[in-house]
Amino acid sequence: MFGFNLMEMVAGLPGLIMALALHEYAHARVAVAMGDFTPKMMGRLTLNPMAHIDPIGLVVLLIARFGWAKPVVINPHNFHDRKKGEILVALAGPAMNFLLAFLALGVMIFLTHTMRIEMSYGLRAVLWLIVVYNINFGIFNLIPLPPLDGSRILMAVLPYEMQYRFAALERYSMIIFIIFIATPILGYILVPIAQLLLGLFSGIWMLVL
């Protein structure tokens, strides 16, 4: 999912922390807005990365290109509208990742094309990896495989009798994730969609700026 060399690890650390922490913060913020105060009571309604980062998950992400943050615990029974709440909370994380990628790309385009500023290699690498990591993280989390956000969206719209069968897939999730990492399958999913989003985001910024 992510590149692996020392320079990229250092330059990509801000992007990884932003991708993980703000993804979870978005889940918490929308859950509270929908009527469930569980994330707030558990200290997750904060922009402090320490509240969201799982140290082991971050290290594994840097080393093995696959990791995780501390999941935000919610109680869907508290939502004003359960189905709507579950869908919006699940969408909030990937939406935040896409927003971060869009904004970082906008900064790059503004500095290089509008202001004609020659960015340093370090700044360019940091901004570009914020774009890449957040787009990849957002797309990855929309895959409809438990416990990813995409599965929660799908669960919310499936007929009740099919939800149990779909949830049972979670027992095989780790095996599927390992297959994703060990084969080019994940690249076949991420790359075309990432290129499409990059083109869309770039086109919007070029029109605006």
Question: Which residues have a Cβ under 8 Å from the Cβ of 3 and sit 6 or more positions away?
Answer: 12, 65
Kindly name the residue from 8, 24, 86, 161 that is annotated as catalytic.
24
Q: How many CB atoms lie within 10 A of CB 185?
A: 12
Contact 2, 12 (CB under 8 A): yes
Rg of the chain in Å (alpha carbons): 18
24 is a catalytic site residue: yes
Question: Which residues have a Cβ under 8 Å from the Cβ of 67 and sit 6 or more positions away?
Answer: 20, 54, 57, 58, 59, 60, 61
DSSP structure class, residue 118 = -
Nearest to 81 by CA among 28, 45, 35: 35
d(CA 118, CA 101): 20
Q: HSE-up of 113 (CA within 13 Å, CB side)?
A: 13
d(CA 39, CA 27): 9
Sign of CA dihedral 111, 117, 123, 129: positive
The catalytic residues are 24
